Structure 1
């Protein structure tokens, strides 16, 4: 009887471990190729462009923004490609200063570019608070 109970418990724990490993990571900060990466998918899900969320990944090395990459979104491709120009303005800047930068939206892609800026600001603010 005792062996049967232990087998059930072991099976249950194995199932829990399997489910936990299948769930996506929710921590917005990770490490990738020596850089700290902040993913704003869960951080700034309320930030909307013209057609929805516009998450980004921010790559930071030695306290400086190395790259900002737009992630999958539902924005109109021809306008979003123009809006992504705002992301390059953060590259090479110290993360704490980049978080406070005033970046103008791109004419013709105002909603998308403003949403990208808000995502970067949210990601850098989170980075500063949790590094």
Structure 2
């Protein structure tokens, strides 16, 4: 009887482990060492530049924005290169300050600029709510 109980308990633990490990994570916020990375691909899927979504990865350490990088998108490379220069304005700022910033868009890449700024805002808000 003890062997059956032990075997049953082992099976229950194994099944629980399988179910927990199979649960999807939201994929929005991950950790790499001391760095938290916020991926706006899901958060900003409805945020559109001129030709579509403009997802970002926002790297945060000690509650400061370390860097922001643009992910794969359908924007015209020339305009995306112009617009993503505005992302440097957020680097080195605290998350709280960066979330409140009113960064100027880039002339000639207005739609792309607006979508990048919106994605930064969404990502930083998500970080503040879920850290």
TM-score range relative to shorter protein: 0.7 to 0.9
- Measured against aligned partners, the alpha-carbon deviations of 1:42-66 in whole angstroms (never above 9, x if no partner) come to 0111100000000000000000000
Where does residue 26 of structure 1 map in the other structure? 26
Where does residue 90 of structure 1 map in the other structure? 90
Structure 1 unaligned regions, length at least 5: 1-12
Where does residue 124 of structure 1 map in the other structure? 124
TM-score, normalisation: structure 1: 0.81
Partner-residue secondary structure (3-state), 2:51: coil
1:103 aligned onto 2:99: no
Structure 2 unaligned regions, length at least 5: 1-14
Where does residue 36 of structure 2 map in the other structure? 36
The runs of at least 4 aligned residues of structure 1 exceeding 6 Å deviation read none
Partner-residue secondary structure (3-state), 1:99: helix
TM-score, normalisation: structure 2: 0.81
**Count of matched residue positions in the alignment of Structure 1 and Structure 2:** 116
Partner-residue secondary structure (3-state), 1:30: strand
Distance (Å, rounded) in 2 between the aligned partners of 1:27 and 1:83: 25
1:6-85 superposed matches below 5 A: 20=22, 25-85=25-85
